[in-house]
Structure 1
Amino acid sequence: MPLDRPDALNSLGFAKPPSETRVVVAMSGGVDSSVVAAQLAEEGYDVVGVTLQLYDHGAALAKKGACCAGLDIHDARRVAEEMGFPHYVLDYENIFKDAVIDEFADSYLAGATPVPCIRCNERVKFKDLLETAKDLDADCMATGHYIQRKVGASGPELHCAADAGRDQSYFLFSTTPEQLDFLRFPLGHLPSKNETRALAAKYGLPVADKPDSQDICFVPNGNYASVIEKLRPGAADPGEIVHVDGRVLGTHEGVIHYTIGQRRGLGIGGLSEPLYVVKLDVEARHVIVGPKEMLATRRVPVREINWLGDALLTSRDEWRVSVKVRSTRPPREAVIRPLSNTTAEVELIIAEEGVSPGQACVFYETEGSRILGGGWIHRS
């Protein structure tokens, strides 16, 4: 891309030719990050592809559709070879275990419903990998996430993807302003995934028809309990299924097999009313069930807040925003009442069901696409 003026910005926002702009591309081996790398290479950027090995090759190869696995490392390398840029594989297995997997296991054992993909972005990809990119003298790091980075009056801002169905803002709320200054998301403006696959076909990428990854990368077939039992032997201690009125309705084979809001698979049929898991008492090993209305929550305590607004979180007594309390739910109107720079109580205007400790609560502008940050839901 030729620059008409000395101060003209290239497509990544730098006042120099693409050939003089080094960009590290985080390549998972999937179609999204492969397209980012191929597109930037075609535009003439000094592209360096980096793939993280996050867990054992043997286990990874046994699971289809996992990111950062053995087959995906091979696919990322093939893309780099065909597009003619260097590619490196970094062994982050120990970092990933310490920063993501162990906390996932401990949180799940404590009765929470963790979201390890957020921690992976926060503690591995946008922390250690980003520092590695700087060590490689990169001007920026690009990823295949569906989210937009826009430059506002106070600096870079995080905005939802143009395609609401692909938007990954829930998983990226903990991106700090300093990280956002260095990151780029070339796919966030695309109207649909079809355009991404069309670009993959245009560049002749071997991953053009590769299916999207599903579930958590280190959890085969979404079976959380089996992973926890492997990581924490003896974790599946049996206990009782107890109604909120105190009646013992049955037994279970471990609290780790249940999540807040679950209805199916409780093993307590023959009752006149449908029952849901409304609480997990890990210490007593009780799965507590009750009617659906008991799942409705309006007040949500939030901590470890990463605030991305222009003014300090504590500069107001309350903020009118929209929030997501689950990745699959649309934003709902809410009020944030700050308790400190990193803690707050969120009041939902309309009660939500199945609000669970360990999930994220992500803040959005009520009008517009900007992400204002978010935090982690915890027990009051």
Structure 2
Amino acid sequence: TILNKRTYMDFTRFFNEQQNYLRKVKLDFKRYLYDDIDFSEQAVMILGQCGVGKTTLILQYLKQNFQASQKALYISMDNPLFAATSLYEFALDFEKVGGELLLIDEIHKLKDWSSHIKTIIDQSNLKLVITGSSMLELDINGADLSRRAVKYHLNNMSFREFLNLNLKSEYKKYSLDEILENHYEIAVNLTGKFKPFIYFKDYLTHGAYPFANDKIGFYSKLTGVINQVLQSDIPYVCSLNYANIDKLKKLLFLLSQSVPFSPNISELARACEISRPTLIEYLRYMQSAGLIINLTSKSRGYNAILKPDKIYLSNTNLAYTLSISPNIGSLRESFFINQISAYKAGKFQTDLLMLNKQGDFIVDDKFTFEAGRTKKSFEQIKDVQNSYVVADDIEVGSGNKIPLWLFGFLY
């Protein structure tokens, strides 16, 4: 009957909205991941914390390749329409009118998102570019999407990107091996073009996000990012009871006041009025959401899965947002582990960065690093192979002493 006949979607409104988005998008600065993504794959997933530029990245791709075409369409699961409209049926209707590429933003905000995506991939020829919270990392393997979609991680901006954004430059990135082997030549070359310490403090305080140049509104925006993660992203993905959001906020505040935090799990659980297993679960959620980094000691082996030995805020901008006067030693370590962790993101191994008894950190189970001030000695790591001092306040290093800022060129 006529009543049972499904009407097909009119996409005119969506294309008009898309043109409004594209008019505002600039192509002069692209995040580091843009050139690494293979957009020819049938399904691409880009995961990352709220605020790191996922939406801008896919709109830049759309503008650069499909601005005058109706073969590609951008939609966001923030749109109330998708509370009552099947994404699967929407996608099939789009394909029927000649659509070839569907860019789906904020997929984690759609209930049962994975079943929609799997069915679209299996039942259509559409290509998909999907963005979602970094929290989805906890979901993807269980959703059986790991073999259907190519996954990428977009992390906060590196120091190199901050310089490129501010100086309108195109400084290249260097691998960890290149920095360890050739740091003197690299640093001499770079410091001949700019003075790193004119910009490094700015990066530490407000340079890790694409809205870095909004100095007046930066901390307000970053507070909004934190609240979005705690009040929306984590509850959406983990089906967390909203009554527990205040406990998450309290946990983050307690951690931020004394990072790096060496946790007494039982005491921290009592302070937050949650059980010990729930606390460990919350720490895992907050790491996946890009708010903290949980590190364990190499010496603990498989016991490391029980609890972290130290907890850091994920980047130094969070420290300046949540604390009145962050400790400079903590900021050095946070910058180093943030840049290393982002550089290693997506790798299979779980022990790429760990705490070490001799020195502060061990990377790839091979390289030992001790972070400190200019005059930091090699005393603690003098007998350790492949060991390096990462020194703040030096423009150019020598031997196995490397400037801290240079690790901001890893990605």
Q: How high is the TM-score relative to the length of structure 1?
A: 0.30
Whichever structure has more helix as a proportion of its residues is: 2
Q: How high is the TM-score relative to the length of structure 2?
A: 0.28
